[in-house]
Amino acid sequence: MQKMVKPIRLVVLAVVFVLLLGVYFVALYKLQIIGGREYYAVGETETKEDITIAAARGNILDRYGRLLVSNSLCNNLSINVTELFSQDDPNAVILELCSAVERFGDTYTDTLPITKSPPFEFTEMDTLQKSMLDAWLKANDMPLDSSAVEILAAMRTRYSVGSEYNAEDARRIVGVRYEINDRFNINTTPYVFAEDVSMPLLTYLMEQDIPGFELSSSYVREYKTQYAAHLLGYTGKLTAEEWATYAGKDYSLDAYVGKDGVEYAFEDYLHGVDGEAEVYSNLDGVTLRTKYTKEPQPGGHVYLTLDIGLQEVCEEALAAHIESINEDRARIIAEAEMYGTESTEMISGGALCVVKVDTGEPLALVSYPTYDAATMLDNYETLVTDENAPLYNRALMGVYAPGSTFKPCTATALLAEGIISPTRTLKTEGQFTKYIDDGYAPECWIYSTYKYTHGEINVVQAITYSCNYFFYYFGDELGIDKMAYYAKLYGLGEHTGIELPEVTGQMSTQSFKEQYTGISWFQGDTLQSAIGQSFTEFTPLQMAEYCAAIANGGTRHSASILKEVRSYDYSKTLFQRETEVLSKLDIDPEIFGYIQYGMYGVLYDAASTLKEHWLDSSIVAAAKTGTAQRGEGLVNNAMFILYAPYGDNPEIAIAIAVEKGGAGATLSPVARKIVDYYFTFQSSANTVENAYSLLK
């Protein structure tokens, strides 16, 4: 019985094998014989193209989640090469497309570095344009030193652009053909013929049934505010020079990257990771299906420390102040030209910074004149040639002699080094004559103006009255080295920690003067340095952080402008700002009380000319004015620092600089507007719903 089992099993297995083999041959027959012609047709008529799917760039928001910069979808025209070159006359189609784009006021991409009309000449070209043109010349056996006219003639022949086309039309056609050729050679993203095109153009193209293009969409940056232009920056296409920086970071050659400001500084957070897809089309160029092989990953949302509401108030207040003064000065200048009377200078610019006292966070950074970030690229030529330099970020790049706003720093050094006590008094005179035999005898401003003196005063009164003589006298004893040491601790002449480009300025020192002028230091330089003159120059942001350090008792914080970064769906925190201490003045805390009281007196002393601006305010503040000399016969720069509230829990510090602004005291009303807004609206400021809750 057992002997019969094996043959039966073998028979069963053989039958199963034959059946499976039969199924296989039937399937193979259907695939190759019956369906072979169909599958062959698909393979012959269907093309596959690998494309890049651009990732959405992250948004930029203020500290409360108010949107500053976001994305909007735009319509683009991409050349459908398959469809274009299936036409009887592709060149005629190209010319029709170019003419349509121009007719509706749009623009198309043409990187051929030759002028658009005769006489044909080379335009200025970047590294990529030069390398691509050289590659074309080599591929077509032409000398690299060929002229623009010779190149265009060769291109007309190469691309079959006949004599029926005039010179300008031929230039349009070969420009597009050259662009298509480049895209094919470098094998990157499709040729986007025209970006962000208008609806009237799209409607026209559809109505006329013009072939050779396909509609695609991409993201463009959309500015939700007209303020903070110098900070937000802008984006643009990656250049050949920038490619080395972004190589290996999943950027395509057509990628848009941050070029300036926050867009540039936080590119790594804002830029997403592009996706990839396979696009299947028939021979007519009609897309049959799209298969995503790699989903795009959008960039992160960047929250800044800025309060855009406060930024708006600051920009408007500074602009109103400057423009009002310039209106008056314009009349004076006109009268001077007419009657030969004394003239003046127009204000060319200014800056204003507001920072948090306890963290150093910038709440507002203003540069005047400003511009609209949304139209900056369109108006670039006008902006870059404007004599008042509106593109120049004066808050971070402008350096100004602090004038008397530096006196609290000198006072700090005098008290900390024991040169004076808080109660020590000095009988001031109008003129400091210690170096008169050397031909140097500087005067106090009150003596120069009124032939008065400040009498016998202490350091608190010296700050309140801004007595030059007091600081000449004791600054001479202190010396420049100690003066510079305390300036450094306050962050004056040092990097602030902000992520945007800034200059450091400098504190006057013997080595600086000798290195940059070749002239030896003399004691008069020390006297001038004690009152914020000589070679001393700082940025408005440094001055605001310095004022904050005075207010909080000597701690200087980083001025980082990055508050937080969230994932694109707001579900994850990618970065959270932590308060960073850059330096600390480790001195008797009571010293700051005397400095602060001297600044309080600037606004509230019985003799103060500024008290009328502040007596009716519910917020008590402390300030210091500065009138920085620019030279004989020139209008002084106006400087002003303030913190509020005066007392145990100061919240904000302000620094204002106005070029050729005159007396620093004139800036008090500007500061008052800022204080009023901050303490009126700050308590009611809320984060935007559906975003992310940020503490103030």
Alpha-helix runs per DSSP H in 420-575 = 445-450, 459-465, 468-478, 480-489, 510-517, 523-530, 540-552
| The two structure tokens encoding residue 641 | 């620092």
Give CATH for domain 308-402+492-503+539-684. 3.40.710.10
pLDDT, position 265 = 97
| The two structure tokens encoding residue 81 | 């090469």
Q: What is the DSSP string of 535-547?
A: T-BB-HHHHHHHH
The alpha carbons of the chain give a radius of gyration, in whole angstroms, of: 35
Identify the band that residue 285 occupies on the pLDDT scale cut at 50, 70 and 90. Answer: low
> Is the separation of the CB atoms in 195 and 221 below 8 Å?
no
pLDDT, position 36 = 43
pLDDT, position 21 = 53
Q: What is the pLDDT of residues 41-65, one digit of tens each?
A: 444 567 777 777 778 899 999 999 9
From 21-30, 173-182, 357-366, 436-445, the region with the lowest mean pLDDT: 21-30
Evaluate if residue 206 carries a pLDDT over 90: no
Q: What is the pLDDT of residues 580-620, one digit of tens each?
A: 999 999 999 999 999 999 999 999 999 999 999 899 999 99
> Is the separation of the CB atoms in 263 and 500 below 8 Å?
no
Q: Is the pTM of this model over 0.85?
A: no
pLDDT, position 32 = 47
Give mean pLDDT, residues 8-32.
Answer: 48
Distance in angstroms (rounded) separating the CA atoms of residues 102 and 667: 50
CB atoms within 10 A of CB 462: 26
Identify the band that residue 28 occupies on the pLDDT scale cut at 50, 70 and 90. Answer: very low
pLDDT, position 168 = 96
Give mean pLDDT, residues 618-625.
Answer: 97
- More reliable by pLDDT, 526 or 45: 526
Q: What is the pLDDT of residues 247-280, one digit of tens each?
A: 778 787 778 899 999 999 999 999 988 888 887 8
Residue 583 amino acid letter: S
From 97-106, 357-366, 678-687, the region with the lowest mean pLDDT: 678-687
| The two structure tokens encoding residue 175 | 């420009």
Identify the band that residue 132 occupies on the pLDDT scale cut at 50, 70 and 90. Answer: confident
Categorise residue 180: left if φ over 0, alpha if ψ from -120 to 50, beta otherwise. Answer: alpha
Give mean pLDDT, residues 147-173.
Answer: 95
Evaluate if residue 11 carries a pLDDT over 80: no
pLDDT, position 686 = 62
Evaluate if residue 27 carries a pLDDT over 50: no
Mean pLDDT of the chain: 88
Find the distance separating the first CA and the last CA of the chain, reported in whole Å: 92
| Maximal C-alpha separation, the chain | 138
pLDDT, position 35 = 43
From 134-138, 192-196, 392-396, 552-556, the region with the lowest mean pLDDT: 192-196
pLDDT, position 380 = 87
Distance in angstroms (rounded) separating the CA atoms of residues 502 and 541: 9
> Is the separation of the CB atoms in 603 and 597 below 8 Å?
no
- Among 195-209, 318-332, 470-484, the range of highest mean pLDDT: 470-484
* Residues whose CB falls within 8 Å of the CB of residue 316, separated by 6 or more in sequence, listed in order: none
Evaluate if residue 130 carries a pLDDT over 50: yes
Q: What is the pLDDT of residues 69-107, one digit of tens each?
A: 999 888 888 888 888 888 999 999 999 999 999 999 999
Q: What is the pLDDT of residues 370-397, one digit of tens each?
A: 999 988 888 888 999 999 999 999 999 9
- More reliable by pLDDT, 264 or 36: 264
pLDDT, position 39 = 38
pLDDT, position 403 = 97
pLDDT, position 44 = 55
* Domain assignments of the chain as residue spans, ordered by start: 308-402+492-503+539-684
Categorise residue 631: left if φ over 0, alpha if ψ from -120 to 50, beta otherwise. Answer: left
pLDDT, position 423 = 96
260 in helix, strand or coil? coil
Give mean pLDDT, residues 329-354.
Answer: 87
% of the chain beyond a pLDDT of 90: 67
- More reliable by pLDDT, 96 or 244: 96
pLDDT, position 629 = 87
pLDDT, position 31 = 41
pLDDT, position 185 = 56
Distance in angstroms (rounded) separating the CA atoms of residues 82 and 80: 6
Residue 300 amino acid letter: G
Give how far Cα 117 sits from Cα of 151, 166, 169, 170, Å: 14, 10, 9, 10
**How many helical (H) and strand (E) elements, i.e. helices and strands, does the chain have?**
26, 21
- Nearest residue to 220 (alpha-carbon basis) of 372, 51, 76: 76
The single residue listed with the structure tokens 């795009």 is 296
Evaluate if residue 8 carries a pLDDT over 70: no
Consecutive H or E run containing 85: none
- More reliable by pLDDT, 241 or 680: 680
- Nearest residue to 360 (alpha-carbon basis) of 501, 496, 506, 232: 496
Identify the band that residue 690 occupies on the pLDDT scale cut at 50, 70 and 90. Answer: very low
Q: What is the pLDDT of residues 438-468, one digit of tens each?
A: 999 999 999 999 999 999 999 999 999 999 9
351 in helix, strand or coil? strand
% of the chain beyond a pLDDT of 70: 90
Give me the helix-helix angle, 523-530 and 480-489, nearest 10°.
30
Identify the band that residue 7 occupies on the pLDDT scale cut at 50, 70 and 90. Answer: low
* Residues whose CB falls within 8 Å of the CB of residue 260, separated by 6 or more in sequence, listed in order: 233, 234
